[in-house]
Structure 1
Amino acid sequence: MFKFDESISISFPGVKMGFLIMHGVSPVSSYENWEEAEVITGLKQKYGQLGRKELKTLYPIQAYVAYYKRFGYSYPVLAQLESVLQGKKPLHTESGLLQAMFLWELDSMLLTAGHDLAQLWLPLQLKAATDAESYESISGKEVTAVSGDLMLCDGSGAISSILRGPDYKSRITASTKDVLFSIYAPPGIDANYIQNNLQKLEKSILEFSPSSKTEMLRVFSQD
């Protein structure tokens, strides 16, 4: 289902990828308001008294800050967290899958992407981009991968990268019933932490779609 390209062992020893695959998710389900409020309350209790400088030093945020800094970027999930802590509402979507993903991404601060499994050509492979790869981003615009960036590919090519985000073709839509979530974890992030947060995401989805079935919940490590 997944493997690391040999370029990863050279460029990113210690990198990890977490995956959650679920089938039969109700496509019309939505995330309950009380669950969203519960997550946001937890975020404010955990991070509310901290400024940006302090947040950047926290685990696992510091690993992503370091990764993005090497390319001259800032970690976008940190900006989203700061926005929520300032009282702004998190990104709202009618899709329970996307809402659960966004909220647990903020709760864990692990960079997470979601894909419609039916649109993927398995197996998947994590590579180091060469800047020769391009794909249609989730916004519908053609993007070119950044040289050296971590890039996830299926049999047809790139489906996401850390700096450019997920692709358009395999995006989660209102009709998505089978889903794959992926967590990019740069060196320095513990596999158990990834595993535990994938389990939280799984539990969250089962709450609004109890008939869903989990095919895989696993963390792969490049040691």
Structure 2
Amino acid sequence: MFQFDKNIENSNSGVKMGFLIMSRVSSANPYKEEETAEFISVLRNKFGRLDRKELKKLNPIGTYAAYYKKFGYSYPVLAQLESVVQGKKSLDAESALLQVMFISELDSMLLTAGHDLAELQLPLLLKSATGAESYQSISGKEVKTVNGDLMLCDSIGTISSILRGPDYRSRITASTSDVLFSTYAPPGIDESYIKAHLEKLESRIKALSPSATTKLLQVFITSNIPTG
């Protein structure tokens, strides 16, 4: 189902990838307004008194911020957190699946992407980008990867990268019934923290979509996975 490219061990030792695969999911029942308001209140209590400098000292925010800084970028999930806490951004989304993923991402601050499993051709491979690869981003625009960034590919092509985000081809839509969530974790983020994040995401999906079943919930680490 998943492998690390042989060069990942040398260039990004300690990288982890978390995956959650669920079937019979539904996007028909998003959170009610009072439920999202309650979650925003939790975020404000947890992060609202901290400025950006203080937030970057927290794990895992600091780990991602350091990764993005290497390439001259800032961590987008941190900006989203600040916007939600300050009341500049809502937790509304195109579907319940995307809403739940976004809420879980802000809760853990772990970078997570969602894909329609039916649009993927397994196995998946995590590899280092050369900067020559291109794919259609979730916005519909053609983007090029950044040299040295981590990207996730299926048998067809790139489905996401840390710096450029997920692709359009395998995006979650209203008709998605089998879903794959992937969590990128640069070195320094604990395996148990990633697993707890995926378990919370799983629980939230089952609460909104009782018929959903879990096919895989696992964290892969470079040191104990066969390389491709």
TM-score range, shorter chain: over 0.9
- Counterpart check, 1:222 vs 2:199: no
After superposition, the C-alpha distances for 1:147-185 in whole angstroms (9 at most, x for unaligned) are 000000000010000011100000000100100000000
Q: Counterpart of 2:115? A: 115
Q: Counterpart of 2:95? A: 95
- The answer to whether the Cα contact below 8 Å between 1:31 and 1:95 also exists between their aligned partners in 2 is no
Alignment of 1:10-29 (within 5 A): 10-29=10-29
Q: How far is 1:34 from its partner?
A: 3.5
Percent pairwise identity: 67
After superposition, the C-alpha distances for 1:47-71 in whole angstroms (9 at most, x for unaligned) are 1110010001101000000000000
Any unmatched runs of 5+ in structure 1?
none
Structure 2: how far apart are the matches of 1:32 and 1:199? 22
Structure 2: how far apart are the matches of 1:27 and 1:75? 27
Structure 1: how far apart are the matches of 2:84 and 2:115? 25
Q: Counterpart of 2:8? A: 8
**How does the TM-score come out when normalised to structure 1?**
0.97
- Counterpart check, 1:194 vs 2:194: yes
Q: Counterpart of 1:60? A: 60
* AA of the residue aligned to 1:219: V
Structure 2: how far apart are the matches of 1:212 and 1:53? 40
**How does the TM-score come out when normalised to structure 2?**
0.95
Alignment of 1:31-180 (within 5 A): 31-180=31-180
* AA of the residue aligned to 1:210: P
SS in 1 for 2:7: helix
4+ long deviations beyond 4 Å: none
Q: How far is 1:91 from its partner?
A: 4.5
Any unmatched runs of 5+ in structure 2?
224-228
- The answer to whether the Cα contact below 8 Å between 1:135 and 1:142 also exists between their aligned partners in 2 is yes
Q: How far is 1:100 from its partner?
A: 0.2
Structure 1: how far apart are the matches of 2:34 and 2:3? 38
Structure 2: how far apart are the matches of 1:221 and 1:126? 11
RMSD: 1.0
Which of 130-139 and 31-40 deviates more?
31-40
